[in-house]
Amino acid sequence: MIKLLKYIKKQYLIILIAIVLIFIQVMTNLNLPRMMSRIINEGVLQNDVDKIWSIGLDMIIITIISSLAIILASYLLAKIAALFGENVRKALFTKVTYASKEQLSQFGVASLVTRSTNDITQLQQFIVMWRPLIMAPLMGVGGIIMAISEAPSMSYIIFVVILLLMITLASALFFALPLFKSLQVKLDKLNRVLREFLTGLRVIKAFNKSEAEKQRFKEANQDLTDTTRKVTRIMVFIIPVMMLIMNASTILIIWVGGHQIISNGVEIGSIMAFMQYVMQVLFSFLMLAMIFVFIPRAQVSAGRINEVLDSPDQLQDIGQKAKPAEVQNVSLEFRNVTFKYQHAERAVLKNISFKGTGGEFIAIIGGTGSGKTTLIDLLPRFYDVSEGEILINGINIKEYSLKNLRDYISLVPQKAVIFNGTIKDNITLGSKEGSDAEVEKAAAIAQASEFIETLDQGYETPVAQDGSNLSGGQKQRLSIARAIFKNPDIYIFDDSFSALDFKTDSLLRKALRENIKSKLILTIAQRVNTILDADKIIVLDKGEIVGIGTHKELYQSNEVYKEIVLSQMEEGEVA
């Protein structure tokens, strides 16, 4: 938890002011019982009205000062908590933004959402609780000292009461802390189940699994509810026990104090002040009990946030080279590249070597699990190679900053990702610089202008969340238009034409050939007939390149490729 305090940036003066205000509140609260004792002993018992009015007025002034200190300290701590939450969320978001795909998979989407929202909220609540956290021990220690000074002969009562309170708190925390740790894990599980249900709703309905999903949600929800109830029972148990101790101590003080007044001549005001100080000590422990409700959860939440922030960065963004604009023809080379996932036994890709230049259309084909998507994920550095190197224009991609490297590349993923906003917003996502004519040209090349122009608002048509008001083919064409509008030197299409009909697919590929002649195109393909005219086809099998060449060359000489072709086409159809 201490590690995260660095995110309270440049607020040390405000924290110091808040601590001073809390200290003022403590001092005023500790003085009130003594002033009440003086009113009784010097005013009421002596029948001195002026003394009563004088001390009473002082008490009113002190009470006003205490109230103002409480209000201002609470405001300042709330401000600090809000700023802290903003800074930690920003740090988490930045960490996730630059993390590798493998690094993110260690936590999962549902857990990262919980850590960025619920866990940070727990820490913000804990910061707001700093006032009672600082105030409680000061009040407790101050109350004990003041009580002993008022009635030394009754001091043993305080230590008996404190011992009982400490036993109560320690017992509650012993049972509650493990439950607090499991509570956040079970909240992650519930979020994961809910997220899977919402994202996979169509599939769940299609396979008539709604009841099964309801049961899965019910189990996760019930598990979280049961744990929450256990924690609540333990924490609720503390309050009545402490109230019992408080009331019992009041009775004990009155009974012992009565004897002290008769036998030892202790003043009534001193007994009343002693009682008030003991109440302050008890309320201090009560405040600590309330704080201890937050501390275990805050500790768990801080640990979970630190787990993400402290996770080692697998991608080191130390490159300084800018995009070399003077290069006319881009060149790409994979040189003896091997990649293995962390903790995996075997490499996914082994000794991959090939070259490509601007103007080439390179297709990558292979069976399921052959490593096609992993191979192209290495280029924008979603993962880093385990061995070997990837070079763009003769320079290792690690020497480029991530920003400059990714500016050099457009990626159209297997699953089209559409964002909230308008059609135009989605096309211009990669680069906000560009005219409406360039947007329309990119859409025309991607064969998207046909459906966009039929919409009432055209390019300003709002897009629903996840593009739910668009078909699969429309979303894919928008993703392709986005990549084209960016105008990079290298295009990567990860099976990005799968939702298109053959006619649209053919028109799109022809338009790409005609309009981005000088660019290097890498495409992963499942349909052989869409890559027959590729300049170079790379055949992957079990993570290794088993053939490179044109369609005709590979069909005649490569058994793996020939097998893929014949699984989709009749031998007579093969050119």
Q: Indicate if 478 and 362 belong to the same structural domain.
A: no
CATH number, position 463: 3.40.50.300
Residues 550 and 450 grouped into a single domain = no
Same domain, 356 and 421: no
- Mark which of 284, 309, 334 sits at the end of a domain: 309
CATH of the domain at 68: 1.20.1560.10
Note whether residue 316 is domain-resident: no
What tens-digit pLDDT sequence spans the chain (575 residues)?
Answer: 566 767 776 677 888 888 899 888 888 888 888 888 778 777 777 777 878 888 888 888 888 998 899 899 889 988 888 888 888 888 888 888 777 777 777 777 777 887 888 888 888 888 888 888 888 888 888 888 888 887 777 778 888 888 887 888 777 777 777 787 787 678 778 878 887 787 777 778 777 888 888 888 888 899 889 888 888 887 777 778 877 887 888 888 888 777 777 776 667 777 788 888 888 888 887 777 777 767 777 777 888 888 888 877 666 666 656 554 455 788 899 999 999 887 777 888 999 999 989 888 899 998 888 888 889 888 988 888 889 999 998 888 888 888 888 888 888 888 888 888 888 888 888 666 667 788 888 888 888 888 888 888 888 888 877 777 788 888 888 888 888 888 888 999 887 777 777 788 788 888 887 887 788 889 888 878 778 888 899 999 888 889 898 888 888 888 888 888 888 766 656 65
pLDDT at 350: 92
Tokens 């928008």 correspond to: 478
One domain, residues 276 and 216: yes
Residue 518 phi, psi (nearest 5):
-85, 0
Q: What is the pLDDT of residue 318?
A: 63
Q: Cα–Cα distance between 258 and 251 in angstroms, integer?
A: 11
Taking the C-alpha atoms of residue 331 and residue 329, their distance in angstroms, rounded to an integer, is 6
Q: Are strands 520-524 and 361-366 parallel, antiparallel or unpaired?
A: parallel
pLDDT of residue 334: 92
User: What are the φ/ψ torsions at residue 447 (nearest 5 degrees)?
Assistant: 60, 30
Same structural domain, 290 and 337: no
Rounded to an integer, what distance in angstroms lies between the CA atom of residue 192 and that of residue 189? 5
The answer on 22 and 158 residing in a single domain is: yes
Could you tell me if 427 and 289 lie in one domain? no
- In whole angstroms, what is the distance from residue 156 CA to residue 369 CA? 75
DSSP letter (8 states) at residue 483? H
Containing structural domain, residue 397? 324-408+490-509+519-575
Token pair 């009015």: residue? 53
Provide the pLDDT for residue 319: 60
One domain for residues 371 and 418: no
Residue at 303 is within a domain: yes
Q: Which residue from 317, 303, 305 is spatially nearest to 97, judged by alpha carbons? A: 317
pLDDT score for 381 = 86
Same domain, residue pair 116 and 222: yes
The answer on 152 and 282 residing in a single domain is: yes
Q: Residues 501, 466: contact at Cβ < 8 Å?
A: no
User: Is residue 228 assigned to a domain?
Assistant: yes
The whole-number pLDDT of residue 337 equals 92
Statement to judge: residues 212 and 238 lie in one domain: yes
Quick check: helix, strand or coil at residue 523? Answer: strand
